[in-house]
Chain A
């Protein structure tokens, strides 16, 4: 029996500001396990792109290998996608971004893809502050090879395999903070009301935006002793605050009286409003963000929400001073100096 999704949608689907309905952001039917957190993230991406809004064909989807990296087939079917090789998505994304700086690069990776085989490429794309959104669908295990612990599995966490993980875990958010990411956030696939605004903010920020999303693996790592299970995350998550992203050119009507609201204005004029918990740290202070992560970790709490946001770093193009024109659109006339110049150049070699 085949497995397809009906073409019919709710007849009242409203168009966004660009005239697209949510349907225009959908992709093919997922072939991941039923209940996989990744599917929820795919849907959050669809929702974020629809709400922001972005034009579907101006988005480029990038991924590596693994369950997570299959997902770009499941959202934004009108966007080009590139499912590359294991752990190497950052390189492909870097090249693609170099070729055309005007598109929105949406990288999707997993914890194996990012924290193990791709850790090198991950750190370097962060330190170059490539203008992209990098979403980690973090389930603490290798799904496609049937449930081995990954490098983000917490020490002592036990997957379906039954043996507690003996190794220290890598906190990708903390790592990204240390090496210069412009935007760092942590979400949970089971909380779209938080995840969608996080993704929208990430897409609005210039530079490297990491959204590490804890995404339970229902098949291999949703056990009662796993720290990446729906139940554990629900019991231990604590948000830095709730987030609103007000896009540019939209009147800010929300009235934030309380002193606990922090505003961050982005390069394009969007404003992130963060309604913080009592005693929360500033999200524009890198060191405070690292402190917050560490102190929560010490208490076995999972800090979620926007951890850090600084939109003024300058992305790779700014760092290496490339032209503002997309390189893939420059004409031969402007690239090839011509024979006269060549002959002049030849003189130097005589």
Chain B
């Protein structure tokens, strides 16, 4: 193999598994260290800069970082990154003063945001400090989109959401609420320099053709809309026996909300197996904890309505339509997916759509076929999650900024990389190099009996400072990189000997597959890179399997010639204007 080019910022970025997995590439280890130090506001601002809604995401994020977390590869469970984000939000001091200064003098460019969800808000956040005039349009009476309408408040208290939305709106965003855009053509005549469409995936999929749908309509709801209705206070009860159809996170929210609205017997029915459910494992776990069974392998056949009243449903078990399974119920919540519908985008505008709910866009720039129109959030790529919406918002903001400045959208700003050596002295490092043995801390929750009675009551209490600190210290500091200087190495083996996870090898070079097989511990995880050095004096090369490196610094600690150095790599994903 060729020597690894560690000057490529993406090499080290990839080593920081959590950050790499995060759609908006939040510098997780950096803020976890700050939490461990009790610097909550600093930790919050790192987050805010990157993901805009730390308080919200610290509660409802899909947390792709956690399955990626290195700790999960050597310990039983990964670091509770998501809930630590909440620790930063919960314990921070006032951060208002740290928010970016908004130029009094605008740059003369006007940008419209259609839809007030996380993607649009992110665009606003990124463009406001650059001097843009930003007008935000939303059909609801309050900004927040999905976060407000569809996330129940027992998971995300309103004040948390409002706080973080206000940080953005207070920058001077012009909001146009209760304002439904019905024609893009008309809207474009407002003469905005750029338009961002972040209308989300507002429509839940229905099962309109299923027998009995019409007749049972009073007791059959599209889950996501039902959740919105609950959120807005339009609905506050539900039948004693409720079936929830579907296996995604919305289904989990529906069933748990049903329990809170008086549902005594709430069950989830899914087509496939539990193992293949779309919902996040922890969401499933929360539902199970609330005595909600999940019935596998049933496909809906019919809503059974008797005397004008829904009495249950028929399902086909494993495709067997001849012997339907009957499950009695009073109410059904459908959570079988979401749809987009751009009925308000006129064909003649030249804005091409892929299908009924997705536009044709350049995935890197998020630009539509109508150059001044950009998409983001679920409206751009289909239903994802808040953190993806934020990430897309950042990218859209970059594109809009480049577009407004007449620059090439393809030439994206480079990420910011800051490298800093961590050695202070013998056995002394700037970062906390000790790897703790602590197990993942449990987030305390309100008693189930109590929480079921109050839908506004947040179930999770969040970490306290102590458990937060303990949990934060479980972080392996993957951003502190092991940097090897082959010219200084005397091949004494000290690093290979001390390495707790046997990552470091001094062997003869070969092709990657061959090298991987010849390491002291064969490198079977091909999603993780090998770090290969130049040829050493004995003709061998140093090969390090990045897979389970603990970043404990012992290689550098035990190196007599400082051929190993621990270097913190702060990878800052580019934002608009950079």
Contacts and interface: CB of A to CB of B under 8 A. Distances in A.
Indicate yes or no for A touching B, C-beta below 8 A. Answer: yes
Interface of A: 1-13, 22, 30, 33-37, 39-40, 42-43, 189-190, 192, 216, 218-219, 222, 230-231, 234
A189 to B, nearest CB: 7
A8 B434 contact: no
B561 A39 contact: no
Interface string B476-518: 0000000000000011111011101111000000000000000
B19 to A, nearest CB: 21
A15 B57 CA distance: 42
20 contacts: A3-B427, A6-B434, A6-B435, A8-B74, A8-B435, A8-B548, A10-B501, A10-B548, A33-B560, A34-B560, A35-B558, A35-B560, A39-B498, A42-B497, A43-B496, A189-B492, A190-B491, A192-B493, A218-B560, A234-B538
Q: What 6 pairs between A and B have smallest CB-CB spacing? A: A35-B560, A6-B435, A43-B497, A8-B74, A3-B427, A218-B560
A166 B49 CA distance: 68
A42 B537 CA distance: 24
Contact of A43 (B429, B493, B503): B493
B559 interface: yes
A37 B492 contact: yes
B428 interface: yes
A80 to B, nearest CB: 23
Nearest to A14: B521
A251 to B, nearest CB: 23
Interface string B164-208: 000000000000000000000000000000000000000000000
Contacts of B522: 12
Interface in B513-563: 521-522, 524, 537-538, 548, 550, 552, 554, 557-561
A1 B431 CA distance: 11
Contacts of A39: 493-494, 497-498, 558
B75 interface: yes
B505 to A, nearest CB: 11
B430 to A, nearest CB: 11
A273 B498 CA distance: 30
Contact of A7 (B428, B437, B548, B557): B437
Nearest to A215: B492
Given A12-B521, A230-B492, 9 more contacts: A3-B427, A6-B554, A7-B437, A8-B75, A39-B558, A40-B493, A218-B490, A218-B560, A219-B560
A10 B560 contact: no
B434 A34 contact: no
Contacts of A36: 492, 494
A2 B434 contact: yes
Given A2-B434, A3-B427, A35-B490, A10 B550 contact: no
Given A34-B557, A34-B559, A230-B492, A10 B497 contact: no
A35 B492 contact: yes
Given A1-B428, A5-B554, A234-B538, A10 B502 contact: yes
B73 interface: yes
Interface residues of B, number: 35
The secondary structure that dominates the B interface is loop
B493 A10 contact: no
Contacts of B554: 5-6
The secondary structure that dominates the A interface is loop
A9 B500 contact: yes
A2 B557 CA distance: 12
B560 A11 contact: no
A7 B435 contact: yes
Given A7-B437, A192-B493, A12 B524 contact: yes
A286 to B, nearest CB: 32
Contacts of B491: 190, 230
Nearest to A230: B490
B548 to A, nearest CB: 6
Contacts of A6: 434-435, 500, 550, 552, 554
A218 B493 CA distance: 12
A190 B497 CA distance: 11
Interface of B: 73-75, 427-429, 434-435, 437, 490-494, 496-498, 500-503, 521-522, 524, 537-538, 548, 550, 552, 554, 557-561
Given A6-B550, A190-B492, A234 B558 contact: no
A1 B437 CA distance: 17
B225 to A, nearest CB: 45
Q: Which of A3, A12, A34, A219 has the most CB of B within 10 A?
A: A34
A216 B492 contact: yes
Contacts of B429: 1
Q: Which of B428, B497, B552 has the most CB of A within 10 A?
A: B497
Contacts of B501: 8-10
Nearest to A3: B427
A227 to B, nearest CB: 16
B429 to A, nearest CB: 7
Contacts of B557: 3, 34
Nearest to A37: B492
A40 B559 contact: no
A11 B550 CA distance: 12
A231 B552 CA distance: 29
Nearest to A219: B560
A229 to B, nearest CB: 9
Contacts of B537: 234
A13 to B, nearest CB: 7
A130 B524 CA distance: 45
A264 B497 CA distance: 31
A37 B490 CA distance: 11
Given A190-B492, A218-B492, A11 B548 contact: yes
A35 B559 contact: yes
A28 to B, nearest CB: 12
B490 A11 contact: no
A182 B521 CA distance: 35
Contacts of B74: 8-11
A40 B434 contact: no
Contacts of A222: 490
A13 B496 CA distance: 15
B551 to A, nearest CB: 10
A22 B499 CA distance: 13
Contacts of B524: 12
Nearest to B507: A193
Nearest to B545: A10
A303 B7 CA distance: 43
A9 B73 CA distance: 10
Nearest to A47: B520
A3 to B, nearest CB: 4
Nearest to A40: B493
Contact of A35 (B437, B494, B500, B503): B494
A39 B437 CA distance: 25
Nearest to A46: B497
A36 to B, nearest CB: 7
A218 B494 CA distance: 11
B73 A11 contact: yes
A202 B501 CA distance: 28
Contacts of A7: 435, 437, 500
